Structure 1
Amino acid sequence: MPQPILATLIPGDGIGPEIVDAAITVLDALGSPFAWDRQVAGLAGVTAAGDPLPTEALESIRRTRLALKGPLETPSGGGYRSSNVRLREEFKLYANLRPVRTMIPGGRFDDIDLVIVRENLEGLYIGHEHYIPIDDDPHAVAMATGVNTRKGSARLLEYAFEHAVATGRKKVTIVHKANIMKALTGIFLEAGQELYERKYKGRFELDSVIIDACAMKLVINPWQFDMLVTTNLFGDILSDLGAGLIGGLGLAPGANIGADAAIFEAVHGSAPDIAGKGIANPTALLLAAAMMLEHCRLGEQAGRLRRAIADTLNVDKVRTGDLGGSASTVAYTQALVRRLA
């Protein structure tokens, strides 16, 4: 009997506990190799420990170096800083990997198979902001600082290029805004071109595209792209656009990869408006679990899980409401378990 793989489990907020329970049920049916250490974060962390990222959760991830988490609530405007951003910073999870693959044929776009690799620790998205008061207005001026480094850019680009080679990607496109943000995104483009010429030339095709043109091209002809690699904020936007090409965020998994830890998650938010109604779609989190299995070199189990999801959706036609069906979270989960039996 193989030794269990210790992993941290964070159910999260909103629909998080429902989809995490569904994922654990399906993984158990698959013969899950994971031994879970359950922790709380986000609003659940504030409620339980007065901290959206409690010390116990951080210590657990330091021990396991591996986590599966549900969505964490981040207040808009005021409130506390994003727990997701803090987790990425705490464990130096510099690469955000988001595959975009058609799961249900026959949509507006079909046969989509691309990967978005997003830098996770730098740029405008990290939230280094402040207000400057003028007269009696404390929020008269808002300022944000974006910082991209050559070292951080090259580290992410090398991860993307290595992933492209390992998975047989034929073309990598660097997405930037170096025509306007010449320094902040120009350094990323420059680092990618230099790395390609020095180490990867001939192993795949490299090109580049400006972010706004990329968004347009994705909705006109997404098949022209194979892998997109980009900076933090642009990657956040493009990964949601990519999810729209395949039917929505309910089908979009993500992995946050660092040198010493990896955290897997659904891309979507906590959806508090449907929490507790039993209608949430756990597919994105299940696909993230498949990525987690692959990360642990359990490709056969990852393949079985993906096939079970595809067969449940397309052969059995069991789908949650966001995918045009009427199945509850529990009914969909039970259908997946039957596929794995």
Structure 2
Amino acid sequence: MPFLFPYLQVFKAADVPIEWEEHYVAKEIDPRTQSFLTWESLESVRRNKVGLKGPMATPIGKGHRSLNLTLRKELNLYANVRPCFSLPGYKTRYDDVDLVTIRENTEGEYSGLEHQVVRGVVESLKIITRQASLRVAEYAFQYAKTRGRERVSAIHKANIMQKTDGLFLKCCREVAEKYPEVKYEEVVIDNCCMMV
């Protein structure tokens, strides 16, 4: 845990009574997880309900299954919450930035389902389900409601991916009806990127 050592020192200095269980990535792929993340480390997080994880590299374009993807799938970490806000006293290009991105973490491009059809042709499956779309939309609206946020924006590519992102939008609209106090809008991802 060399990378995490400075963080552990903070807990120690604050005299926080934590009993640590240390787990390392394996030297060989664990057949139960299909990655270098061991089954024992997953069971430790399940049992303790919390984990402190350092960075885990994934080879790009080849190699083993992503350790982060394994964690997301095995522990059902479906909502990736990324706040972005201005800090008082720091001058940046834009003032008063305050937004939160909540991304579905287990489906879509994160399904991790790829294969080579024939030499020189690969295929990646974008899986979208009603259940996962409703779940992440519910999370986003609950997040907005409990934190006093005014709006939820569904970012999508339904203009091109009509079936997959279309299902996602239908689910977002359905959940939005339960939260009339939160404004709901839909933005094509290309436009969203230009605005951000």
**Secondary structure of residue in 2 paired with 1:66:** coil
> Of residues 152, 155, 168 in structure 1, which corresponds to 2:148?
168
**Secondary structure of residue in 2 paired with 1:188:** helix
Unaligned 5+ residue runs, structure 2?
Answer: none
**Is the Cα contact below 8 Å between 2:29 and 2:36 reproduced in 1?**
no
Structure-2 residue corresponding to 1:200: 179
Structure-1 residue corresponding to 2:103: 118
Structure-1 residue corresponding to 2:190: 212
Deviations 1:236-287 (CA, angstroms, capped at 9, x unpaired): xxxxxxxxxxxxxxxxxxxxxxxxxxxxxxxxxxxxxxxxxxxxxxxxxxxx
If each structure's helix is expressed as a fraction of its own residues, which one has the higher value? 1
**Is the Cα contact below 8 Å between 1:173 and 1:209 reproduced in 2?**
yes
Query: Normalising by structure 2, what TM-score?
Result: 0.90
Alignment partners' CA distance in 1, 2:11 and 2:74: 28
Which structure 2 residues correspond to residues 77-88 of structure 1 after superposition, within 5 A? 77-88=61-72
Q: What is the identity, as a one-letter code, of the residue corresponding to 1:173?
A: S
Q: What is the identity, as a one-letter code, of the residue corresponding to 2:108?
A: G
- Fraction of identical pairs, as percent: 41
TM-aligned CA deviation for residue 88 of structure 1: 0.7
Unaligned 5+ residue runs, structure 1?
Answer: 1-10, 12-16, 134-138, 219-341
**Secondary structure of residue in 2 paired with 1:76:** coil
**Is the Cα contact below 8 Å between 1:173 and 1:208 reproduced in 2?**
yes
Which structure 2 residues correspond to residues 53-68 of structure 1 after superposition, within 5 A? 53-68=37-52
Deviations 1:13-55 (CA, angstroms, capped at 9, x unpaired): xxxx33x2222222333443543211112xxx32798951112
TM-aligned CA deviation for residue 109 of structure 1: 2.2
Structure-1 residue corresponding to 2:27: 46
> Of residues 102, 121, 125 in structure 2, which corresponds to 1:141?
121
Paired residue total: 192
Alignment partners' CA distance in 2, 1:49 and 1:89: 15
Alignment partners' CA distance in 1, 2:39 and 2:193: 39
**Is the Cα contact below 8 Å between 1:105 and 1:111 reproduced in 2?**
no
Structure-2 residue corresponding to 1:23: 7
Q: What is the identity, as a one-letter code, of the residue corresponding to 2:144?
A: A
Cα RMSD, aligned residues only: 2.0
Structure-1 residue corresponding to 2:162: 182
Alignment partners' CA distance in 1, 2:37 and 2:54: 14
> Which structure would you say has the larger RCO, counting Cα contacts within 8 Å and 6 or more residues apart?
1
Query: Normalising by structure 1, what TM-score?
Result: 0.53
TM-aligned CA deviation for residue 78 of structure 1: 1.3
- Structure 2 vs 1, CA of residues 48 and 90 (structure 1 numbering), >3 Å: closer, same or farther? closer
Alignment partners' CA distance in 1, 2:172 and 2:82: 19
